[in-house]
């Protein structure tokens, strides 16, 4: 039975603009794989283009899943909110949250959607505005709760998880109060989507023949364990 792989991007296939040794050769040797990344700022086509450029092998966009695309798709498909206000990198399907605007007294039926890898304008003001929306009935969705992400110079900067935890600390709420669509939360729907993508490629094996490969225990390994996949932690990144 041929194996299938759910591959992290940063720290597993590439380190910023540098391919990790052996990663490109690996992609050319396997039949079934999907690249699954927690980015809240890039689409699958953007990630596929970046990987193709950096690695020197073509990575088709249909083999890439991003938390940004996944959260946006489910928000549109479920249609459960009267209003969706975005924080971070704006998504064209929704309206941005502007901290200067007055907050309605009743925010039930509103979702504040965090599309970010850590970049958020007017950080403190946006935390306060998000918390006010939630205090008045809104819910918070996030692409990930990663505490840190790598920068171009190899250093680390704060990730979207710092923003999420700041909002929750302001409100005295646990992390479980936020629905997280990427790897690392209790919602495993992005992993189920990864398996469906592998099935489209012809994979017919069981969950135990799916291998999650990544550089983080709290995201890549956690998702794999939640779905009964095999997991492999690499030390090339985080």
H/E run at residue 55:
helix 44-55
Question: Is the separation of the CB atoms in 228 and 208 below 8 Å?
Answer: yes
Which residue has 């189920």 as its token pair? 192
pLDDT at 154 over 90: no
* Distance, first Cα to last Cα, the chain: 31
Q: Give CA separation, 205 vs 4, 29, 201, in Å.
A: 8, 18, 12
Radius of gyration of the chain (CA): 18
pLDDT tens-place string over residues 61-85: 999 999 999 999 999 999 999 999 9
The predicted model gives 123-148 an average pLDDT of 96
Residue % of the chain over a pLDDT of 90: 90
Burial class (CB in 10 A: 0-12, 13-18, 19+), 3: middle
3-state secondary structure of 47: helix
Average pLDDT over residues 179-196: 95
- What are the CA-CA distances from residue 236 to residues 39, 52, 85 (Å)? 19, 19, 36
- Six-digit token string for 234: 């690499």
**What percent of the chain has a predicted confidence (pLDDT) above 70?**
97
CA distance 157 to 183: 19
Taking the whole predicted model, whether its pTM rises above 0.85 is answered as yes
Of 1-5, 29-33, 48-52, 222-226, which range is least confident? 1-5
What pLDDT is stored for residue 148 in this prediction?
Answer: 86
Q: How many CA atoms lie within 13 A of 198 on its CB side?
A: 28
- Interval 89-118: pLDDT, tens: 999 999 999 999 999 999 999 999 999 999
pLDDT of residue 1: 52
pLDDT at 155 over 80: no
> How far, in Å, CA of 237 to CA of 219, rounded?
13
Bridge partners for 85 per DSSP: 95, 112
- Whether residue 152 is predicted with pLDDT greater than 70 in this model: the reply is no
Task: Match 């936020």 to its residue by tokens.
Answer: 178
Q: What is the mean pLDDT of the chain?
A: 94
Q: Between these two residues, 156 and 166, which has the higher pLDDT value?
A: 166
207 touches 6 (CB < 8 A)? no
């Amino acid at each position: 039975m041929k194996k299938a792989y759910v591959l992290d991007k940063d720290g597993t296939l590439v380190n910023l603009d540098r391919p990790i040794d052996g990663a490109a050769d690996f992609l050319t040797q396997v039949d079934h794989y999907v690249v699954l990344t927690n980015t809240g700022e890039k689409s699958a086509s953007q990630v596929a283009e970046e990987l193709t450029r950096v690695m020197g092998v073509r990575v088709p966009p249909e083999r890439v899943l991003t938390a940004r695309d996944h959260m946006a798709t489910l928000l549109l498909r479920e249609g459960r909110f009267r209003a969706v206000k975005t924080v971070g990198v704006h998504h064209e399907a929704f309206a941005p949250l502007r901290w200067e605007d007055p907050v309605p007294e009743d925010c039930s039926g509103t979702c504040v959607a965090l599309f970010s890898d850590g970049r958020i304008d007017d950080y403190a003001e946006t935390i306060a505005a998000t918390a006010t929306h939630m205090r008045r009935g809104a819910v918070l969705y996030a692409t990930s709760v990663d505490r840190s992400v790598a920068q171009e110079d190899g250093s680390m900067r704060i990730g979207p998880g710092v923003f999420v935890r700041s909002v929750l600390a302001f409100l005295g709420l646990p992390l479980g109060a936020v629905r997280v669509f990427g790897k690392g939360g209790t919602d495993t729907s992005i992993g189920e989507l990864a398996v469906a993508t592998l099935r489209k490629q012809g994979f017919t094996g069981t969950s135990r023949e799916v291998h999650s490969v990544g550089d983080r225990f709290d995201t890549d390994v956690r998702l794999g364990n939640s779905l009964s996949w095999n997991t492999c932690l690499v030390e090339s990144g985080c």
